[in-house]
Amino acid sequence: MLDKKRGNKTKIIPDLQKEITEICVGNGRASEPFIKVFKYSEENITKSSLGSLIGIFEVTEKSEDSTYIVNFLASVAKKEYFSNGRRGSIESFEASLHKINLALAELVKNGNIAWLGKFHGAIGILEKNNLHFSVAGDAKIFLIRSDSLSEISEGIASPESRVHPIKTFIEISSGRLLADDKIILTSPELCSLLTNEDIEKNAKRMDNEHFSQFLRTVLVNQVDIGGSLVVDLSEGAVAIEKPKETKKGVPDTTNVFSQDTFIPKKNDQGNQVEGNDTSSTTKKAPEEYTDEKTGHIFVQGETHVDTTHNPFFEKTQSILQESWYILRTFSLTQYKSFSKGRRKLFVFLGFFTEKIYFMMKQTFLALFRSIRRNLKRRYSSLPSASPKSISEKISENIPTQRVFRKINLTSVLKERIRSLHFSLSPRIPFLLVRFRDAIFSLLHTLFSRYEKRTILLGGIFFAFVLISCVSLFAFFFMKKAPDTVITVKEMPLIVPSFPTATEKNSSVLPDALTAIITIPDQILTALSVGNETYLATDTYLLNISNQKKFLLPAGNGTIKFVSVMDDLRLVFLYTSENKLFSFSPTNNTFTQNTLTLPSQTNIGGIGTYLTYLYVLDKTSNQIYRFPRADGGFGAPVSWLKDTTIFSRVPHMTISENVFVTQENTLSLFLRGRFVKNCELGTLPLSPTSLFTKPDFRFVYALDAENKRVLIWDQSGALLAQYFSEQFASGTSIMADEDSKTIFLTTDTSLLSFFLP
C-alpha cells in the first residue's frame, strides 16, 4: 500500500571544511630536493568531484641520482589523478598509485637503485567527507578523534617494496571523516622526536594553529630534513532542502448534461457530523484515490492503532523474561558442572581451600601487625629511663601542671601475646602449609569414601562453622576492655605547635616525608621531563631511575637556573658564565644556545611556556620573552606592561599565567598585565620555591621559614596549607598532579609525600 509522502524538511549532511597545513623542513639547498609535501586541487569544475590530492614523499639517500625523485613522483601522481574527470575518485586514485609504481620500476630498470629501501611516502585523497590513503616505507598517518590518537596506516606499507618497486603502493585504506577530526601525514623524523602520547597531549591542549606551529618548531630545531601535513576538519554550513510543493486536489465536477445530474442526492448529514467529530482529533487518510496518470484506483486498508500498550508493563515483562533466562542458564550450568564427576568437584574444592588458606593467612598477619603497632604506640608513650639531657634537666625546674593519663591493665597480657608472636612467627608459615596439606588429605579421603551430595553438604556446614568461629573470635578479641586509671607523674612533652587555628585551610601533615635518594653533592632543584625525574646540582644532572650523571661541559661555570620546556622535551640551564645550554634527554647531550640579553641584566629566574623563554630581570623589574629561533632564541620583547617591583630574592613560575613573588606576597600576571595578588593567610609569605606547569591546575609554594607548603588554584585562591617540621630544611618544590605527590629537595636529599 502506498502512502502519500509528507513534505517535511530534509537535512542534508554538508561537506566538511578542510584546513590543510603543509610543514616542510629542508635546511639548506642540499636537503630541499629530497623531500616534497604537496596539496593539489583541480580548478576545472568538471573535475571538482575528485577532491584534493595530498601527500608527502621523502628519500633519505642523498646522492645526485636521487635529487629529482620526489618531485618527479609528485608530478606523476597529480597528472594521472586529474587526467580523466569521468572516472570516480577511487579509480583515479588507484590509477595514480599504479603510475607511481611504474615510474619507480622504470628508475630501477635504468640503473638508479641507490634509493631502494630509503623511500618513505604517504599519499591520500580528500573526497567529500571520505579519506582514501596509502603509505610506503616508514611514513605514517595519524587520526586524532575525540582527543584520542590512533595510527590508521599501521600494517599498510608493503615490506616487499625494498626489493620490488612495483609493489611500493599496493594497499589502499578508506574511512569516513567526522567534524573536529585531525589527520596527520608525516615522515619518520617526527615519530623519532615525539611519542604518540606527546602528540596526543599537545593536540588536546592546543588549538589548530598553535599545534601546527608546534610541529613546525619541533622539526626545524631538531632535524635537517622532515615534513608533515596536517588536515583539520570542521563543520560546514547546513543545507536544508525545501519541501516539494504538492498540488492541491481539484474537486470533482459533474457534467450538467449527463444523467448523473438527475440522480437524487443521498442524505449524508449524519455521516458528516460523525466525520467532523473524528476530524477534530485526527485526520483520516483517504480510503481510496485515483492515479491521475494511469487511472488506476488504489484502495487502502484500515489502519488500526493499538493504544492499550503500557510502557511500565512492557518493561516489567522484559525484566522478568531476562531474569528467568539468567536463572535457567545458571541452573543448567551448575547441574552440568556437578554431573561431570568427582574430579571437577575436587578441583573446585581445592581452589576454594586455597582461597580460604590465603584469606586466613592475611587475616592472622593483619591481626599480628595490629597488635605489634598498638604495643609500639603504647610503649613509646611511656617515660624512658635513659639518661637525661641538659634540656630535660632544665625543664625539670620549670613549674608545670601534673599530667595524668590512663594505662590499660591488659598491657601485661598483650606483652605476653607479643612475646608469643615473636617466638611463633618463624613457625607460622610452616604450620599454615601443614594445615593446607591436612585439608587436601582430608578432602581426598572423603572423596574416596562418600558420595558427592554428602561431601557437598559437609563442606557447606564446615564453611558455616568456620565463618561463625572467626566472627565470634573477632568480636570478643576486638572488644575494648575497661581501663583502670593509675596516676603517673610525667614530664611535659614538647610538641611542635602550628597556627592551624588561625590559618585558612591549614592542617598538620600527619606522616613523615619519604626519602627517595641522597647524594653527596648539594642539590639545586628537582625537575621532571616526561616520565623521568632529574636532580640538578652545580655541575651535572642526575637521572634518578638509572643513576646516570650528565656533566655540564667544562669551562662554562656552574648551573644557576633550570627550566623545562615540555613542548620540545628540553631542559634549559643558565650558568654563572652567562651562557644558556639545552639538555636533550633523547640523546643525553648538552647544546649551547644563543641568548642576547639587554645590557646590565641581572637575572633572577627563568621559565618557559610553549616554545618561549621568559627571563626575570631584577635590575629593571622587567620580564623579557624570547621566541625560539635557529640555534637558540631571537630578540627579546619586554613582556610586562605594568610597573612593578620584585622582591629582593624573586621567584617566578609560569603556566598560562605568570606568578612572581613581591614583598611578602605572590602576584598573578596575565598577558603582561597585573591581575591580582594571590590569597594568603595571616602569616607573611616567605617563599623558598614556586612550581607549576602549563597543564597543571594548581600552583605550589614552599615556605621553609614558616615550615609550610601552600597550594593555590590558577586564579589565586588559597586551597590548602600543610605544616611540618621537615619543611624547614627544604630548598625547592616539585609536584606530580597525576599521583598527587609533592617532591621536596634538601641540600642533599629528595623527599616526597602524598597529598591527603
CA distances from 408 to 380, 415, 477, 517 (A): 14, 12, 15, 41
In a domain, 491, yes or no: no
Together in a domain, 92 and 193: yes
Task: Flag whether pLDDT at 76 surpasses 50.
Answer: yes
pLDDT of residue 28: 67
pLDDT of residue 385: 44
CB 673 within 8 A of CB 667: no
Q: Domain with 180 in it: what CATH number?
A: 3.60.40.10
619 pLDDT band, cuts 50/70/90, is confident
pLDDT of residue 161: 84
pLDDT of residue 86: 82
Task: Flag whether pLDDT at 377 surpasses 80.
Answer: no
CB 617 within 8 A of CB 606: no
Mean pLDDT of 190-199: 91
In a domain, 138, yes or no: yes
pLDDT of residue 237: 57
Q: Domain with 528 in it: what CATH number?
A: 2.120.10.30
Mean pLDDT of 685-698: 90
pLDDT of residue 404: 40
CB 169 within 8 A of CB 97: yes
14 pLDDT band, cuts 50/70/90, is confident
Highest averaged pLDDT of the listed ranges 353-357, 428-432, 560-564: 560-564
Q: Bigger pLDDT: 297 or 358?
A: 358
93 pLDDT band, cuts 50/70/90, is very high
The label of the residue with cell 606483652 reads: 415
In a domain, 326, yes or no: no
CB 330 within 8 A of CB 317: no
CA-based torsion, 42, 46, 50, 51: positive or negative: positive
Expressed in percent and rounded to 5, the helix, strand and coil fractions of the chain are: 30, 30, 40
Task: Flag whether pLDDT at 119 surpasses 90.
Answer: yes
CA distances from 234 to 14, 31, 161, 181 (A): 11, 34, 36, 8
379 pLDDT band, cuts 50/70/90, is low
pLDDT of residue 283: 45
Highest averaged pLDDT of the listed ranges 326-340, 354-368, 462-476: 462-476
Together in a domain, 665 and 738: yes
**How do 652-654 and 637-638 pair as beta strands?**
unpaired
Q: For residue 261, with 0-12 CB atoms within 10 Å meaning exposed, 13-18 middle and 19 or more buried, which class applies?
A: exposed
273 pLDDT band, cuts 50/70/90, is very low
In a domain, 642, yes or no: yes
285 pLDDT band, cuts 50/70/90, is very low
Mean pLDDT of 288-303: 51
Backbone angles phi and psi of 298, in degrees to 5: -110, 125
Together in a domain, 548 and 459: no
Together in a domain, 467 and 516: no
Together in a domain, 557 and 679: yes
Closest by CA to 205, choosing from 735, 737, 695, 611, is: 695
Closest by CA to 414, choosing from 447, 440, 376, is: 376
Together in a domain, 513 and 454: no
**Averaged pLDDT score across all residues of the chain:** 77
The label of the residue with cell 573477632 reads: 474
Mean pLDDT of 82-99: 90
417 pLDDT band, cuts 50/70/90, is low
CB 243 within 8 A of CB 9: yes
CB 92 within 8 A of CB 259: no
pLDDT of residue 141: 96
- Tell me which amino acid residue 466 is: L
Distance CA 185, CA 143 (A): 9
Least-confidence region, from 52-66, 107-121, 432-446, 680-694: 432-446
Cell numbers placing 209 = 594553529
Together in a domain, 436 and 546: no
pLDDT of residue 362: 63
Together in a domain, 190 and 46: yes
Q: What secondary structure does DSSP assign to 525-572, as a single string? A: EEEEETTEEEEEESSEEEETTTTEEEEPPTTS--EEEEEEETTTTEEE
In a domain, 413, yes or no: yes
CA distances from 271 to 64, 267, 274 (A): 96, 9, 5
The pLDDT tens digits for 325-335 are: 677 776 666 66
Task: Flag whether pLDDT at 373 surpasses 90.
Answer: no
533 pLDDT band, cuts 50/70/90, is very high
Q: What secondary structure does DSSP assign to 4-73, as a single string? A: PPP---EEEPPPPEEEEEEEEEE-STTTGGGEEEEEEE--SGGGGGG-EEEEEEEE---SGGGTTHHHHH
684 pLDDT band, cuts 50/70/90, is confident
Mean pLDDT of 69-92: 90
| Domain closes at, from 192, 210, 237 | 237
Residues of the chain with pLDDT > 90, as a percent, come to 35
Mean pLDDT of 77-103: 91
Together in a domain, 415 and 529: no
Q: Which residues contact 333 (CB under 8 A, 6 or more apart)?
A: none
In a domain, 303, yes or no: no
Task: Flag whether pLDDT at 50 surpasses 90.
Answer: no
Task: Flag whether pLDDT at 344 surpasses 80.
Answer: no
Provide the domain limits for residue 370.
351-380+401-478
Distance CA 640, CA 28 (A): 37
| Domain closes at, from 237, 263, 285 | 237
Q: Which residues contact 653 (CB under 8 A, 6 or more apart)?
A: 607, 659, 690, 691, 692, 699
Residues belonging to the chain: 756
Distance CA 754, CA 735 (A): 10
Together in a domain, 595 and 655: yes
289 pLDDT band, cuts 50/70/90, is low
In a domain, 343, yes or no: no
Highest averaged pLDDT of the listed ranges 15-29, 365-379, 729-743: 729-743
The pLDDT tens digits for 381-407 are: 444 444 444 344 434 444 444 444 444
Q: Bigger pLDDT: 415 or 84?
A: 84
Q: Where are the beta strands (DSSP E) in 291-398?
A: 297-299
755 pLDDT band, cuts 50/70/90, is confident
CA distances from 56 to 182, 194, 232 (A): 16, 19, 17
In a domain, 332, yes or no: no
Together in a domain, 540 and 640: yes
Q: Which residues contact 544 (CB under 8 A, 6 or more apart)?
A: 516, 517, 532, 533, 534, 535, 750
Q: Bigger pLDDT: 579 or 4?
A: 579
| Domain closes at, from 237, 259, 274 | 237
Least-confidence region, from 153-162, 455-464, 558-567: 455-464
Residues of the chain with pLDDT > 70, as a percent, come to 66
What's the structural domain count of the chain? 3
Least-confidence region, from 302-311, 625-634, 705-714, 739-748: 302-311
Task: Flag whether pLDDT at 218 surpasses 80.
Answer: yes
CB 374 within 8 A of CB 478: no
Together in a domain, 567 and 427: no
